[in-house]
């Protein structure tokens, strides 16, 4: 066993080095975007730059054909026809190799693109020894000719605008150095190299960002589907038990009422857990509608817009807490049979959140008496939270008519919060 291991190790060490170096040079340098489908399986998100790679490969073939036609025309007039033939053969081989590698995600590495720059530039530089002085001065095509620009497209697709512009500048500089003069045609070639690198690099970056957004959207969709499945299972078991404990404990009173309150809190927390989407890394905004839907339960009806109502995360947390406090007040003072309604309206620059119940209402002067006695009730708590957001809250209540809290929060187009300046109804708390 020992000798076998030693022989295997020695055999690996004695293998030629260049095949391993070549494999290292052409292996992938990144991880593809993946997402999880509804069955919990990982799926790769197609790279949005695939059409650009196909366009690059097509451009390289077309420019090779163009160069080959010019090669046949100019071959009898070259200073070094043999070297020109070697360059053309190298172009054919390199084109075939790069098309094969660039057609696979594992081959689109920065190292291979960098090698592409060196090979293309080297072949272009060798053309200086093929053409005569007169051919160079007359501006006749080199052996490489338009095929030279394919290195710019490769760099732009793989590395975006920085890579495309850098490669374009390098190609233009090599052309100027070979010709040794500047005229209108040289300026045009320089501009074309730079513009190709800039525009194709911009398209590549846009496609790359779109792929990332698509991956996030697919992950969110899969997570939502999984949460909905869990919500159905939990609703048929745990949530119904907690709702029953909360309702029955409130009817019995005493220590059972305390258990009912705890059960209600856990019911709300569990609903929020299965209804709230996962936060993306670095996320600073949250959908208020989704968070409010988590509060829906027995005797609590929630109505929100069909689209997302995105606000800063801390604002959403505060508004959900406000709604939770109002619902807790309903449970404590309106009885277990009371119904409560939560309504969220997105009016564009303004968000309106209403919490209403059909309980006995708050008698006239009750809140003022509590404030005079130094008791900070739910009204003061809700008002403090809303004022900290720069909004206003209106309380509309009377005996036998229930209670309605209405919170106004104005937001600008830039997302800044400003104070709502509308008039306040009776009971500005």
Same domain membership, residue 311 and residue 244: no
Check whether residue 290 and residue 261 sit in a common domain: no
> pTM (2 decimals)?
0.52
- Asked if residue 10 belongs to a domain, the reply is no
Backbone angles phi, psi at 2, to 5 degrees: -65, -45
Q: Of the given ranges (33-47, 144-158, 191-205), which has the lowest mean pLDDT?
A: 33-47
Per the CB < 8 A criterion, the answer to whether 103 and 110 are in contact is no
CA 336 → CA 246, 293, 391, distances in Å? 9, 20, 31
- Label residue 269 by pLDDT band (50, 70, 90): low
Q: How many domains does the chain have?
A: 3
Residue 23 located in a structural domain = no
Question: Has residue 409 been placed in a domain?
Answer: yes
- Tell me which DSSP letter residue 144 carries: S
Asked if residue 376 is part of any domain, the answer here is yes
CB contact set of 127 (below 8 Å; sequence gap of 6+): 84, 87, 142, 143, 144, 178
- The residue range of the domain holding 366 is 286-429
232 occurs within a structural domain: no
> Are 392 and 407 a contacting pair, CB within 8 Å?
yes
Residue carrying the six token digits 């850098």: 166
Q: Is the dihedral of CA 301, 303, 309, 311 positive or negative?
A: negative
- Residues 108, 247 share a domain: no
Residue among 334, 309, 325 at smallest CA distance from 429: 325
Residue 180 — left, alpha, or beta (φ > 0 → left; ψ -120 to 50 → alpha)? left
Where does the pLDDT of residue 121 fall: very low under 50, low under 70, confident under 90, or very high at 90 and above? Answer: very high
Q: How long is the chain? A: 429
Q: Looking at the structure, do residues 252 and 190 belong to the same domain, yes or no?
A: no
Residues 82 and 195 placed together within one structural domain of the fold: yes
Do 181 and 103 reside in the same domain of the chain? yes
- Nearest residue to 359 via CA among 382, 343, 339: 339
pLDDT in tens, 131-172: 998 888 888 899 999 999 999 999 999 999 999 999 999 999
Q: What CATH number is given to the structural domain containing 339?
A: 3.30.565.10
Structure tokens at 302: 């929630």
Based on the domain organization, do 333 and 428 belong to the same domain? Answer: yes
Considering the domain architecture, whether residues 310 and 262 belong to the same structural domain is answered as no
Same domain, 253 and 303: no
Q: In this predicted structure, what is the pLDDT of residue 111?
A: 93
317 and 419 inside one domain: yes
Report pLDDT for 33.
Answer: 54
Is the CB of residue 411 less than 8 Å from the CB of residue 349?
yes
Is the residue at 251 inside a domain?
yes
Residues 268 and 330 in one domain: no
Give me 411's structure tokens: 């937001």
Mean pLDDT, the chain, whole residue set = 77
Structural domain contains residue 178:
yes
Pairing type for strands 42-44 and 285-287 reads unpaired
Query: Which carries the bigger pLDDT value, residue 82 or residue 331?
Result: 82
Quick one: 249 and 330 in the same domain?
no
Residue 387 lies in a domain: yes
Q: Distance (Å, rounded) from C-alpha 146 to C-alpha 130?
A: 16
């Amino acid at each position: 066993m020992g000798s076998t291991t030693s022989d295997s190790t020695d055999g690996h060490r004695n293998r030629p080095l260049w095949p391993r170096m070549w494999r290292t040079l052409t292996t992938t340098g990144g991880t593809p975007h993946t997402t999880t489908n509804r069955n919990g399986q990982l799926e790769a998100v197609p790279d949005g730059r695939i059409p650009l790679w196909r366009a690059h490969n097509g451009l390289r073939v077309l420019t090779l054909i163009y160069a080959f036609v010019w090669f046949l025309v100019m071959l009898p007039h070259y200073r070094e026809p043999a070297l020109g033939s070697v360059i053309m053969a190298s172009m054919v081989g390199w084109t075939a190799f790069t098309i094969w590698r660039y057609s696979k995600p594992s081959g689109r590495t920065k190292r291979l693109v960098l090698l592409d720059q060196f090979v293309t530039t080297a072949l272009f530089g060798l053309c200086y020894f093929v053409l005569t002085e007169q051919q160079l001065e007359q501006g006749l095509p080199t052996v490489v000719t338009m095929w030279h620009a394919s290195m710019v497209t490769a760099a732009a697709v793989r590395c975006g605008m920085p890579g495309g512009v850098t490669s374009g500048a390098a190609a233009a500089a090599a052309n100027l150095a070979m010709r040794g003069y500047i005229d209108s045609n040289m300026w045009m070639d320089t501009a074309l190299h730079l513009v190709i690198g800039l525009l194709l690099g911009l398209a590549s970056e846009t496609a790359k960002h779109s792929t990332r957004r698509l991956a996030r959207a697919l992950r969110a969709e899969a997570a939502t589907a999984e949460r909905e499945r869990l919500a159905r299972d939990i609703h048929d078991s745990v949530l119904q038990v907690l709702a029953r404990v909360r309702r029955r404990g409130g009817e019995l009173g005493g220590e059972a009422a305390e258990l009912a309150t705890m059960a209600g809190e856990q019911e709300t927390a569990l609903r929020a857990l299965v209804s709230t989407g996962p936060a993306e890394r670095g996320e600073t905004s949250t959908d208020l509608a989704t968070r409010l839907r988590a509060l829906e339960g027995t005797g609590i009806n929630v109505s929100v817009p069909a689209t997302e109502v995105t606000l800063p995360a801390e604002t959403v947390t505060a508004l959900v807490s406000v709604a939770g406090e109002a619902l807790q007040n309903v449970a404590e003072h309106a009885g277990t049979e009371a119904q409560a309604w939560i309504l969220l309206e997105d009016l564009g620059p303004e968000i309106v959140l209403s919490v209403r119940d059909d309980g006995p209402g708050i008698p006239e002067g009750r809140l003022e008496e509590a404030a005079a006695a130094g008791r900070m009730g739910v009204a003061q708590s809700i008002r403090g939270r809303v004022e900290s957001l720069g909004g206003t809250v209106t309380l509309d209540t009377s005996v036998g008519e229930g209670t309605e809290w209405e919170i106004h929060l104005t937001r600008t187009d830039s997302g800044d919060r400003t104070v709502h300046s509308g008039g306040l109804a009776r009971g500005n708390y």
